[in-house]
Structure 1
Amino acid sequence: MATGRDAVAVFDHAYHGRTNLTMAMTAKNMPYKHGFGPFAGEVYRAPMSYPFRDGLSGEEAAARAIDVIEKQVGADNLACVVIEPIQGEGGFVVPAPGFLPALAEWCARNDVVYIADEIQSGFCRTGDWFASEHEGVVPDLVTTAKGIAGGLPLAAVTGRADLMDSVHVGGLGGTYGGNPVACAAALGALEEMRTHDLAGRARQIGAIMHERLTALAAEHSVIGDLRGRGAMMAIELCEPGTTLPDPVRTAAVSAYCHAHGVVTLTCGTWGNVFRFLPPLAISDELLGEAFDVVSEAFRATA
């Protein structure tokens, strides 16, 4: 409505949801898209910055993505670029420094709306209130959910007033919009984040996880990459000495963890990434206990 344009650009490995429109934006077929088409047109996919696999600087990766968008879509046809500052389901891919600022600058120069999907990375998870803050990027629109209400069902879109006000009166709405119980939970969750400095706590958790995962990677050559920020970290498992994904070992390690009382989540386009998302209220002792089990799992499945 705000731009009068139709096209949307998203990125390789992206996950944006499971409605019909967001399935078109999500990259991974199984289990999210398989059998649920047809999907919306005018959704185009550009290459993501993936340092472990492409070896490009942020500026180089941004130039590559922009070149694809300009050639396959054209800036004059593009309503918006939608990107996760740190990808979630796609494998906790952290773009190389400079990628997001270059992309945002190109959007501003071409009157393209820059939308940050902070649904998984927002609300103190990465050690900042929002992952976009790490490089000082200010999105035109931000989508949020998950951590916003401590587990109650709530999501939000926040953005520049001229964009939000571009829709006619009554044009935006929904059956459960502004649910008062969920909104009260969100206010409580936000107050907890402020009072207990959970962004700072996320950085502490990240330091502990980084130390444990670095030691694990030194012991097990199947771990090809360690990445993330704050309490949002991941390891990518590959056949030793290569970048060939190893989803079989990943599944075996995860099954061991589950059998021994630790809930782990795998993700990534090839199903070979462990994502670690401990509660921001977790104690150091409980976090250490969990990683003891993770360490045992790697040794048991070697």
Structure 2
Amino acid sequence: MSQVFADEALAGIAAGTSPFGSADVGAIRAAIAARAAGRPRGPEMHEVREVALPTCPGRTYRPAAGPAPLVVFLHGGGWSVGDVDAFDRPVRRLAAASGADVLAVDHRLAPEQPWPASVDDTVAALRHVADGGLGAVPPAVVVCGDSAGGTLAALACLRLREEAPYALPDLQVLVYPNADLSDTTSPSMREKATGFGLDAASATFFARLWVGGDETRLRDPRVSPLHAPDLSGLPPAVVVTAEHDPIRDPAEAYARRLDAAGVPTTLRREPGMIHNFLQFDELSPAAAAAADRVAADVAGVGSPRPGARGRGRAARP
């Protein structure tokens, strides 16, 4: 057992060559696609279906028949790489372990479609769900994203609070999100800069790529949720960070600000974990266990927040 990492498998992953160390987005996309194609598929589903969302494609996963909470899932990949195929296995595991249906959003990617395209896609998907676009409105809705997807989930909640409160989810689950794209000086960015899978330089590269190279946008609250002046009125949150992750500290600061704003918030730092652990379940038992804890967070949504969604629908124009 490594003294630093949760298990020896994660130590090997962190020491290995990561596709995110390249500045060639095409090569990274190809490497991710190749790895996804070579992985076991994951749990069988009652139904998997391709769907058309208002601004992008999506895919629904139903682990069983009958009504269930719905997770709107936003994949990671620096807003520039990855797709629903690359996250098929983690999404299947999430659905099977939580018992929830999952809508995986195949949001648009930079540099071809920079910010705010993927935020627009997320907002549109959540509104589509609340409008009954997938059929019956689910008994509860969770928005969940990992890494860049966690950022999208947080930004979508901030926008919906102002634009369409009726479409706010009942819970936001943010898994190692990048909460401050301008950060280069936090302790985690300095202490975990290299040797832990995702390098700090790669995090900065993808942040700049997403905003089209305009670094003045990195502190914009519409890009970095930590810079939003007011976090009140947002859905309850679960924020999950990884101990050995350069973008850990701003995510934890965001969780503390949510709590201070009166938003019921759970913050959990996964010890010995590295960024992107949802993708390492078949390699690392510790990563698989951490992913299962995220599924338990989702399963715990239960019933909608008392009155919250009802008030939103009543106020809907």
The TM-score, its normalising length taken from structure 1, stands at 0.32
Q: Which has the higher contact order (CA 8 A, sep 6+)?
A: 2
TM-score with structure 2 length normalisation? 0.31
Q: Between Structure 1 and Structure 2, whose CA radius of gyration is higher?
A: 1
